[in-house]
Structure 1
Amino acid sequence: MNPSFKFLLALIISIELSLKTSLTTNLLVIVFAVVYLLTQKIKFKSLLFTLLTPLIAAFTIFATLYWFAPQPNLENALSLSSRIYVYTLTICCVSIKTTAEELARSLEQNFHLPSMFAYGVLAALNIIPQMKRAVKQIRIAGMMRGVYLSFWSPVLYFKAILVALNSAENLAQGMESHGYVEGAKRSVIVAVPLKASDWLWSGVILILVNLALFTLK
């Protein structure tokens, strides 16, 4: 499916389930999301991590609404806590076979997202590994001088900000040297097609979710 449609579909489903309470629909979405992830050959370790990560948040919501509420309601507590898994798994379904670059290109080509924003997002994502290396180098350089820079040290983040500003300037110069002009029409290197099947699958999934949402409790 088209990356933009996958993202928009996950967003719509999440918003609809957050506005209307339906435990059965939440469970159906969770089951189908897990099945989809399995069909995409997700690693068992990654699936287990995805299921365990939101457990604390879901349990906290359930405990607050069921054990500490003046009038506990089991169905309401399960419905609201299961939303955490709905949000997590739907986003996981979007990201499992879609890279950030593919999503940015799709939003730019199919949803006419401004190229400046798309390229800015890609630049920010691609600079993250460089920033990690820079922070590691800063900490090592400090330890060689007998200065330990902890994770919450202001000095560490100040030096990291300086590195980021320098990298941003180099990136801007690099884009200009490659002919990037804001607002100018650009050619497409990697086309992201929008197929009729994308509309079909999106419509079918939305119809099924809404049918379950308004007919099941």
Structure 2
Amino acid sequence: MNPGLKLFLILIISLEISLIPNLIANIIIIVASLSYLAFKHLSLKKLLLIFLIPLFAALVVFITIYYFTPGHSLYQASVLFTRIYAYIFLGATFTETTSVLALARSLEQNFKLPSKFTYGTLAAFNVIPKIHAEVNRIRLVGDMRHYHLSFYSPILYFKAILAAISWSNSLAEGMISHGYREDKARSIIVPITLTKKDWLIFSSILILLQPILFFIK
């Protein structure tokens, strides 16, 4: 499925389940997402991590709603519990099967996102490992000087911001030197198609979901 259209589909479904409390719909979304991830050969380790990471938060929400609200509604507690997992697994169906590069190209080519936002997004994602390495380097230098910088230290983030500003200037100069111009049309090296099949899948999933959301409780 087209990456950009897949993103919009997930956002629409997430918005609908946030507005409509429906336990059956949440369970169906979770099962469908799990089936899709299994079809895409996602490893069992990753599936377990996706399940375990939000478990504490989901249990806290369930206990809070069931034990500490006047109604003690098991249904509402279950809805909120499964809704968290529906969000998580919907997100996983996108993040585990779609690359950031493909999404950026799709948004630029198929949905007319300005190229400056496309390349800015790609630059931000690609610089994340470098930021992580820089933060570790700053903390190591601090330790060598017997000055420990904790993760909440303002000095740590101030130094990291200064480094990021320097990288942004270097990145802008590099893009200009490679011929990038914001106001000029760019050639397409890897085309991302948006076909009738993509629209058919998109509309079919939404159409099938509506009766479940509104009529099946």
- In the aligned structure 2, how far is the partner of 1:211 from the partner of 1:70? 31
Count of residues in Structure 1 that have an aligned counterpart in Structure 2 = 217
Residues 28-81 of structure 1, C-alpha deviation per residue, up to 9 Å, x if partnerless? Answer: 111111111111111111100101111122112211111111111111211122
**Aligned-pair identity (%):** 47
Deviating more after overlay: 25-34 vs 75-84:
75-84
- In the aligned structure 1, how far is the partner of 2:69 from the partner of 2:172? 54
- In the aligned structure 2, how far is the partner of 1:146 from the partner of 1:72? 53
Residues 150-184 of structure 1, C-alpha deviation per residue, up to 9 Å, x if partnerless? Answer: 22222211111111010000001111111211132
Instruction: Give the aligned partner of residue 115 of structure 2.
Output: 115
Deviating more after overlay: 105-114 vs 175-184:
175-184
The CA deviation at 1:130 is 1.1
SS in 1 for 2:68: coil
Instruction: Give the aligned partner of residue 87 of structure 1.
Output: 87
Question: One-letter code of the match for 1:102?
Answer: A
- In the aligned structure 2, how far is the partner of 1:195 from the partner of 1:121? 25
Residues 89-138 of structure 1, C-alpha deviation per residue, up to 9 Å, x if partnerless? Answer: 10100111211111111111111111111111111111111111111222
Pairing 1:9-88 to 2, within 5 Å after superposition: 9-88=9-88
Structure 1 gaps of 5+ residues are none
SS in 2 for 1:151: coil
SS in 1 for 2:63: helix
TM-score (normalizing by structure 1): 0.96
The CA RMSD measured in Å over matched residues stands at 1.1
- In the aligned structure 2, how far is the partner of 1:107 from the partner of 1:199? 15
Are 1:170 and 2:170 an aligned pair? yes
Structure 2 gaps of 5+ residues are none
- In the aligned structure 1, how far is the partner of 2:149 from the partner of 2:17? 44
Question: One-letter code of the match for 2:144?
Answer: M
Instruction: Give the aligned partner of residue 150 of structure 1.
Output: 150
Give runs of ≥4 in structure 1 deviating > 6 Å: none
Question: One-letter code of the match for 1:32?
Answer: A
Instruction: Give the aligned partner of residue 191 of structure 1.
Output: 191
TM-score (normalizing by structure 2): 0.96
- In the aligned structure 1, how far is the partner of 2:135 from the partner of 2:56? 30
- In the aligned structure 1, how far is the partner of 2:144 from the partner of 2:120? 35
Are 1:99 and 2:131 an aligned pair? no
SS in 2 for 1:67: helix
- In the aligned structure 2, how far is the partner of 1:141 from the partner of 1:66? 49
